[in-house]
Structure 1
């Protein structure tokens, strides 16, 4: 390089950044990266209720699958703790095991707490079935291999978070959780059907416990079974009962009240099944159905009008195609001093939702009991299970209920009469029978030595074999399956619900 006068000027060496500047930049970059990682970790922790259980939806519900270590709700803490302890024992035993998931809508909103306590009963029954399957001294000669881990999953309020949960379950069927079947499913809603369809597509066999909508079954696509009588059978049982009353008394009048909420597949299938059965068996119905629409404002006003119409018609009985919570609306409306016309309401298994749950104030529950008595409404329903039913369906020597009562009291305490009262609503019994029946299929798939490979396909194959004479001795009665996965002509209990909260067994209903 030359200057203006031609003198050579050596080029300047390139400027070097000071080491402290470089070090500072490195430190700053690390701090930014570390801060971003810390923020991501904070966000992840904020999004999780527990490892693998995420906050989902506008209500930030805890959605996912728990081995019992996360209880989902304080009301479930005791039974989830027992499930966790049994799962730990299974894993520490070193024996071959498979997993069964019990899924339900485990979160509720204010005013629906009674559903939560019904779910607790189902989980208690599911846990007791797990104990019977894993302990050869309790399992009625069914062996103890493979051992059964019981997982619990939350579908979200009204089963709205079904997509996230079913995704988790499908993954668990492919990893070291060895998931081979799913039980439970809660209420018959649109989200429930979506969950069933997703699991059926994934080849995972299912066992409904208290879910009853007819549209869940599909003989052409096996995979969904249930120990609960579907709405079709419940409606036929109700029609048979009412038709018998009309034969005894030709003047016996029957009316119908139905919910027009099409999203609730329990209501719609109950209404359709009853209309079909009534037409086929010659049951005479007074006029057109009296209607209301759940899930929108003004339900109480609608029931005020429905109650007036009932008192104008003066039927001896009404068939109610709706949820238990709406039976409560009807009772309140019928308790008005200018109504109080005597009527018998007969309905399906969701009637248990009419009672206020244990979290409701005693003053409110006492008010409802008083209003119910004043209303002169008698409530009968087709119960999926009742402790008195087994004694009517089994010979004394073959009745599985007495041994179960002993196990129940060992695990959860209580005097014999208290235990019978707890079992009256059928929730514990149905939770037990769903897991117990899956367990029998699992053991059959494992073979006499218990060493056969058990996966979703093998479990499904053995469930298909539980038909005809190859029935399972359930607490709710013998269980065998028709080609569509429904229990084959399984009897039900006709139960009267008392304002005091007692469920009185009235007889056996047959479909």
Structure 2
């Protein structure tokens, strides 16, 4: 029996005592040393793999360098840079004037981030109770995107203006309870890294001392935005959208979501009311076929559906598609040459445009070139919706419209007349503009027509009012020691319509959110401006108002 057991052991797959004794002692020592060295190398490589991308982004928790840009969440101590190579369309190389303009942009971009970081440091040092909120957007400046470098800068100025008002005035309840730190959450140039950033926000919402209580901003109606807010919603994080307008982004589908901007249906309802008073007979729809690498274009799909539903009283001609690129590159007039020829032959008097703002500019350029050779005499009206009226500042584009006997009818968020001090401006616009000038300076006032500063400001204002409404209720109930539950903040969003005091007196209107509504604001005027005639604004006393018509 003993002999048999030795035989079984020698045939086993593991090492045997006899074989171990056959290995020289020097070899065993070197093998041990090599194993230890190998393990150390693995640990070093692993640590480098984890640490180096973060060190390249200032060592900030949550920020990591991917494909040349830092994505994730920062409190402003890391400053996102302005990369000249990503802004060559706006600031061409070898142009002295462009060099100076880029330097001014880079300085402004740095200063607005420093301003937010300074506010955050003051809040942390104050000893007051505070919470954190996060501005969620692509934060790498580009000039060939739908959310380009100018809209990004304008948005950040709006954020800083709102933060200064929230922490330094009584405009949005008690400035010390709680105070607000604003984090900057970068999804990446084309929002490719939305999941990493959303996961970081969810982790921050679990912080026991100063939790993230809301994500706000979301300036793009895109599939990535839709996916990101769905993840945040599943984790119970409240959200307030800024410029994202797609109807599919709503509180019914995404619990915990409201927005400061009108939805697409509100814009098209305003357009419908305006166009109904005009003698227009034949409409053609021109739409982006959403052939984008990022997936379906939620904004375009939502706008096209709203046109079909809301624009009445005209004969519907054929629909024509193009493959837009303005989420990832600037379009060219050649993109629309075939559609321009079809307009010439079909002779509609109305085009319902469902694309991005950058695509619209390419379309107008193409039609202006085609119209010169068109035998038919066509006075074309182009209807569209947009967050702001940057197109009104493009002198070449305005001349092209005039030469082509065409006009733009645009539903938008900010009437340029408000910037000129018109009496038609909402109650809270003057206070917003004063705060904006304090943050950005007088020279930045012309950029207010883009609407992004006002919508970012109002998104943060809605956030502050909802959070503070909830915090005050908890304090009054005596349950302050239990913290500030995110679910209570979500419920607080619906309480912003219970009294005039609880409504949000924002840049774009006095906003409220009805119990059981879809999350779009009530009380937001939607200006409709005709270009080039109304380049200075409509100054209307009879705007379409969300929730009221």
Fold shared by both chains (TM-score > 0.5): yes
For the residue of structure 1 that corresponds to 2:276, the secondary structure is helix
Q: Describe the SS at the equivalent of 2:318.
A: coil
Q: Note if 1:63 corresponds to 2:71.
A: yes
Secondary structure of 2:538's aligned partner: strand
Q: 2:240 aligns to what SS in structure 1?
A: strand
Equivalent position of 1:8 in the other structure: none
Distance 1:232 1:154 in 2: 29
CA distance in 2, matches of 1:223, 1:112: 28
CA–CA distance in 2 between the matches of 1:206 and 1:335? 42
Aligned position for 2:527: 493
**C-alpha displacement of 1:109:** 5.3
Residue equivalent to 1:316: 349
Partner of 1:7: none
Displacement, 1:437?
1.0
Matched, 1:378 2:412: no
Partner secondary structure for residue 447 of structure 1 = helix
Query: Where does residue 509 of structure 1 map in the other structure?
Result: 544
Whole-Å Cα distance in 1 between the matches of residues 269 and 221 of structure 2?
A: 19
Equivalent residue for 1:403, pick from 431, 436, 455? 431
Q: Is the 8 A contact 1:47 1:55 kept in 2?
A: yes
| Structure 1 residues 52-451: aligned runs within 5 Å | 52-56=62-66, 59-74=67-82, 75=106, 76-107=109-140, 111-112=144-145, 115-136=148-169, 139=171, 142-176=174-208, 177-219=210-252, 222-246=255-279, 252-261=281-290, 263-278=296-311, 282-295=312-325, 300-336=333-369, 337-339=372-374, 341-349=378-386, 352=389, 371=400, 374-386=403-415, 388-389=417-418, 399-414=427-442, 418-447=443-472
- Which has the higher mean CA deviation after the structures are superposed, 463-472 or 149-158? 463-472
SS at match of 2:466: helix
Output the CA distance in 2 between the equivalents of 1:213 and 1:325.
Answer: 18
TM-score of the pair, normalised by structure 2 = 0.76
Query: By how many angstroms is 1:265 displaced?
Result: 0.8
CA distance in 1, matches of 2:212, 2:365: 46
**Secondary structure in 1 matching 2:317:** coil
From 40, 45, 49, the counterpart of 1:43: 49
- TM-score of the superposed pair, with normalisation by structure 1: 0.82
Q: Which moved more, 1:428-437 or 1:490-499?
A: 490-499
RMSD between aligned residues: 3.5
| Structure 1 residue 492, shift from structure 2 partner | 0.8
* Partner Cα distance (1:133, 1:489) in 2: 21
Against the structure 1 CA distance between its residues 221 and 372, is the aligned structure 2 distance closer, same or farther, given a 3 Å change threshold?
closer
Give the deviation of 1:164 after TM superposition: 1.2
| Counterparts in 2 of 1:230 and 1:114: CA distance versus 1, 3 Å | closer
**Distance verdict in 2 for CA 1:468–1:445, change over 3 Å:** closer
